[in-house]
Amino acid sequence: MPNKERAKADVLQGTLDLMVLQTLFTMGPQHGYQIAARLEMAVGARLSDGTDKMLDEGMIVDVIFEKTQEVNRAGVTILMVEQNARRALGISHRGYVLELGKERFEGAGQDLLDDPKVAELYLGGAALAR
């Protein structure tokens, strides 16, 4: 397979893995496996080895963040809506803080983490020291 096609296939595989992991986390293992099987049949991709063993919630979250970064490094833009704001901002190029549907703050992820007002109002305390 030529390099360009291989790179596209790798991005597709990473995206599928990420979707399956998110589904496992939000809907439970049975739904995740059913969706994975349908995706595999539809696009001829495979579920990554070991994904079915990652049922520990903490491990799934770690892998979701890793896969998100992997897919993003491959050139795919990702819109992440995440409850773990500190962790999400830590990997984000850009972040937006919304309150009641209105934008309160926006900027580079690390800049938002370092902003004392954002930390006080939305991150449960002081900004993290670098």
Per DSSP, the chain holds a count of helices (H) and strands (E) of 6, 2
> End-to-end alpha-carbon separation of the chain, Å?
44
Reported as a single tens digit per residue, the pLDDT across 16-60 is 666 666 655 565 656 656 666 666 666 555 555 444 444 455 666
Helix or strand holding residue 16 (H, E) = helix 3-27
pTM score of the predicted model = 0.57
